[in-house]
Structure 1
């Protein structure tokens, strides 16, 4: 079964296109390093909760939209090797000339790796 990296971030709503451009640049590196697919989601129906919610989790302001993303890997070993290479790759550094700047506050990003335990899909 696959291994999943998940990310939740708050992005200034005015930076939507910059977020898309940033994702298009960096997500291809995930694929190059072994990921099966990368999904980037822009918040459309993200309700406020009574106890907690996505917006509170990333301390989103009214001027920000929550983005939810995940990277699907064939297994954890491929993910671990790919992420190690990615962290060493100069194309990942927003300070490297030619790389798009980070259009969000990375300090408020929530992320984690998940072992897939169930998959249900159409036949």
Structure 2
């Protein structure tokens, strides 16, 4: 079995980006401490695509928003399940469990788990 990746894509207002970054830094620290192999959060800055569907189109982001593209890497799906269970129980993230406390709209976030098919 190869690595397993949880991926996230979400639109966020530019003026909420600093608040989101603080939240993501804490989340990343917690995920890594509980065993995630890697944690990455990226804010889009080159999203205007004419030849294909852009991330802004995909997420419905407006002109005041950018797109967060993020992923967490695990040893396997089973490892992901164990790590995520520990992360969700970690008291440092208790404040993040309320969707109303987020600097973005959780209903506009896309999430999925992915089996790596190429890992170079």
TM-score w.r.t. length of structure 2: 0.84
Q: Runs of 4+ in structure 1 displaced over 6 angstroms? A: none
Q: Which runs of 5+ in 1 are unaligned?
A: none
TM-score w.r.t. length of structure 1: 0.82
For residues 8 and 109 of structure 2, what CA distance do their matches in structure 1 show? 7
For residues 105 and 30 of structure 1, what CA distance do their matches in structure 2 show? 22
Is 1:113 the counterpart of 2:113? The answer is yes
Equivalent pairs counted in the alignment come to 116
Question: Which residue matches 1:47?
Answer: 48
Change (3 A) 1:47 1:78: same
Give 1:15 deviation, angstroms.
1.5
3-state SS in 2 of match to 1:70: strand
On the 8 A contact 1:37/1:73 being kept in 2, the answer is yes
Question: Which residue matches 1:102?
Answer: 102
Q: Which runs of 5+ in 2 are unaligned?
A: none
Question: Which residue matches 1:77?
Answer: 78
- Give me the CA root mean square deviation: 1.9
3-state SS in 1 of match to 2:95: coil
| Greater fraction helix | 2
Question: Which residue matches 1:58?
Answer: 59
